[in-house]
Amino acid sequence: MERPHSTGALSAEQRQAQQRLYDSHPDYDVVVIGTGMAAISLAALLAQAGRRVCMLEAHDIAGGYVHSFRMGQYHFCAQIHYIWGCGRGDKVWRFLERLGLHEDIRFELLDPNGYDHVILPDRKRVAIPYGYSRLAANIEAAYPGQGEKVLAFTSILDRLSQEVQRLPPSIGPWQVLTQGWRFLTLARYHNKTLQQVFDECQLSPQAQAVLIANSGNFMCPPDQLSILAYNGLFSGYNRGAYYPRKHFKYLIDRLVQSITDRPGCHIYYEEEVTGFEFSGDRMKSVRTQDGKVFSAPLIVCNADPQKTAGIIGWEHFPRRAQRPLRYEYSRTAVTVYLGLRGIDLRDYGFGSHNTWHLEQWDLNQTWDQELHQNWTAPWAFLATPTLHTPEAGTSPSDGQILELATTANYDYFRSLKESNRAAYVAQKKAVRDRLIEIVEQYHVPDLRKYLSLRVTGSPTTNEDFCWAPRGHAYGQHLTPENMGAGRLRSTTPWKNFFWCNAASGYPGVNGTIGTGMQLYMDLTGDHFFEAGDVPDTQTMHRQLGLNL
């Protein structure tokens, strides 16, 4: 029987322990609503700095989209498969170093010759390696005449990366006048979609498909995707794509421990915040569903800002503060979690890489079809986390994990779930079976023979278990309109109340860790990290021993 909500897992003893803790009236310096990656990053840094931190989590486990859940003998990470920024001196590494965890939480580099493999509609396989020149060579080998055009495209990405790294935290009119010449590429492309840049570089449909086969990483098709959002992720992975050596569960568990081991720091689970009390420009307290009231001089919200604004009351937000809060949510996914026995996926071409499978060249058409309930020719993501690290911990000794994903329409699944649950379950099964059919046809014949566990998450599953409105993947839809100067920031109309999440910073593990780091530095003045200090891509490649 499917558990329809993400609460109810706490034991009676755990509930009683939380109640006793609350009844002891602990004093806190900061209350944090939610335990997603940005919140955990901020809270860990504040706790290390001696602040008494209280975290309120509506779910029964910490981590947001990075949390892991157990089904049978398998542990699956909810939504994250690989990350970037983990090389020595890079953002994630610097964050962990600050906490003294960089030797404990280690990462495995995915295959240098192809951290992603793309299976094209003509059944050619093109690997995405580190180094844009090698990428161009791979595409040229598969589709002659495209290599130079790919290099023209990646040169735009390189210039964008360099200019983004030079950007100050805020830019005023005087800086625009005196330093604008340093950001000419940003000025030219900041409002462009990926598709517009593809067209400018005259890339063929085949080359385009290779370069945006990973559209599921953005939950956005190329004709809507901001070139800035695309470059942030694509150039990030080009610096190094990583998987945690002891899996994502260990990453979250250690960060949580780094908070709760500190004096006066606590996490309360299954405590959904449903009310706020404020006076003038100060947020005084928050109230949870069961009537508990938590107060502190500083209150930080990791919960979805748009949903939270509705709880507080839109009328309490000035018009200028409402505009960035009324964003369009990003798209969402169907994810299939498979536990395998009696098979080694390495015998079928899988390894320390992820696979993107395309059934047609035009990803814009693919997305449009799937969002209209047509999964005859979907894009499919295939991840094999048990092959990314030699460490055990996510499957039985003779088992492996295969995770599949594609996109779907939230409204369709929500309507089905509310009106006809049997039809909802049948539709989830139909999408799951279509993805398994693709794997059996092109990758692993007779896959079903080796399945010991299959679990399917729909867009509404994301909403129910990760508290993501509309099952969104990244907060805002990653369009040019949502990636510019009007994007939501951390500040609110209340001087002691701040946003800290993917919507108020940037999405992904690297982005949300950076969001937590930046808010910590802004609040404390302890500026231990500057984006301009990270090693450049060539230095990162040399550190990794890559002869590029």
Residues 295 and 276 occupy one common structural domain: yes
- The HSE-up count of residue 8 (CA atoms within 13 Å, CB side) is 6
Residue 16 lies inside a defined structural domain of this protein: no
Residue 13 lies inside a defined structural domain of this protein: no
Residues 284 and 313 occupy one common structural domain: yes
- Map tokens 């009676």 to a residue: 12
> What is residue 171's predicted lDDT score, i.e. its pLDDT?
54
Residue 451 lies inside a defined structural domain of this protein: yes
- The HSE-up count of residue 39 (CA atoms within 13 Å, CB side) is 29
CATH number reported for the structural domain that contains residue 390 in this entry = 3.90.660
Please check whether residue 489 is in contact with residue 504, taking contact to mean a CB–CB distance below 8 angstroms. yes
Residues 217 and 254 occupy one common structural domain: no
Residues 455 and 342 occupy one common structural domain: yes
Residues 163 and 219 occupy one common structural domain: yes
Residue 548 lies inside a defined structural domain of this protein: no
Residues 366 and 307 occupy one common structural domain: no
Residues 350 and 466 occupy one common structural domain: yes
> By residue range, what is the domain housing residue 260?
27-106+246-325+478-537
Residue 532 lies inside a defined structural domain of this protein: yes
Please check whether residue 149 is in contact with residue 203, taking contact to mean a CB–CB distance below 8 angstroms. yes
Residue 546 lies inside a defined structural domain of this protein: no
Which tokens sit at 404? 């599949």
Which tokens sit at 302? 């990791």
Please check whether residue 338 is in contact with residue 402, taking contact to mean a CB–CB distance below 8 angstroms. yes
> What is residue 4's predicted lDDT score, i.e. its pLDDT?
56
Ranges in the chain, pLDDT < 70: 1-7, 168-181
> What is residue 486's predicted lDDT score, i.e. its pLDDT?
83
| Cα(169)–Cα(147) distance, integer angstroms | 36
> What is residue 167's predicted lDDT score, i.e. its pLDDT?
74
DSSP state of 503: T
| Cα(525)–Cα(509) distance, integer angstroms | 23
> What is residue 547's predicted lDDT score, i.e. its pLDDT?
78
> What is residue 177's predicted lDDT score, i.e. its pLDDT?
47
Q: How many structural domains is the chain composed of? A: 3
CATH number reported for the structural domain that contains residue 51 in this entry = 3.50.50.60
| Cα(250)–Cα(87) distance, integer angstroms | 18
Kindly tell me the burial class for residue 8, based on how many C-beta atoms sit within 10 Å of its own C-beta (0-12, 13-18, 19 or more).
exposed
Residues 462 and 500 occupy one common structural domain: no
Domain stops at, among 189, 210, 239: 239
Q: Which residues contact 87 (CB under 8 A, 6 or more apart)?
A: 93, 239, 240, 242, 535, 540, 543, 544
Residues 320 and 275 occupy one common structural domain: yes
Kindly tell me the burial class for residue 544, based on how many C-beta atoms sit within 10 Å of its own C-beta (0-12, 13-18, 19 or more).
middle
Alpha carbon separation from 225 to 178, 330, 471, 507, 536 (Å, rounded): 30, 11, 18, 14, 25
Please check whether residue 55 is in contact with residue 35, taking contact to mean a CB–CB distance below 8 angstroms. yes
Kindly tell me the burial class for residue 452, based on how many C-beta atoms sit within 10 Å of its own C-beta (0-12, 13-18, 19 or more).
middle
| Cα(256)–Cα(62) distance, integer angstroms | 8
Alpha carbon separation from 432 to 167, 322, 436, 437 (Å, rounded): 43, 39, 6, 9
For residue 348, give the amino acid letter.
Y
Reported as a single tens digit per residue, the pLDDT across 188-211 is 999 999 999 999 999 999 999 999
Torsion angle (degrees, nearest 10) of CA 277, 283, 289, 291? -60
Residue whose C-alpha is closest to residue 304's, from 503, 497, 494? 503
Please check whether residue 387 is in contact with residue 352, taking contact to mean a CB–CB distance below 8 angstroms. yes
DSSP state of 222: T
Residue 544 lies inside a defined structural domain of this protein: no
| Cα(368)–Cα(331) distance, integer angstroms | 12
Q: What is the largest CA-CA distance in the chain?
A: 71
| Cα(208)–Cα(231) distance, integer angstroms | 14
Residues 319 and 357 occupy one common structural domain: no
Please check whether residue 466 is in contact with residue 79, taking contact to mean a CB–CB distance below 8 angstroms. yes
Domain stops at, among 212, 239, 266: 239
> What is residue 1's predicted lDDT score, i.e. its pLDDT?
37
Residues 390 and 418 occupy one common structural domain: yes
> What is residue 180's predicted lDDT score, i.e. its pLDDT?
61
Pairing of strands 497-499, 298-301: parallel
Pairing of strands 116-119, 125-128: antiparallel
- Is the CA virtual torsion 110, 240, 88, 502 positive or negative? negative
Residues 346 and 444 occupy one common structural domain: yes
Domain stops at, among 207, 239, 271: 239
Residue 10 lies inside a defined structural domain of this protein: no
Which ranges of 298-380 does DSSP label H, i.e. alpha helix?
305-312, 319-322, 363-370
Alpha carbon separation from 288 to 96, 237, 268, 291 (Å, rounded): 31, 39, 11, 5
Alpha carbon separation from 12 to 35, 61, 138, 219, 269 (Å, rounded): 22, 16, 57, 39, 13
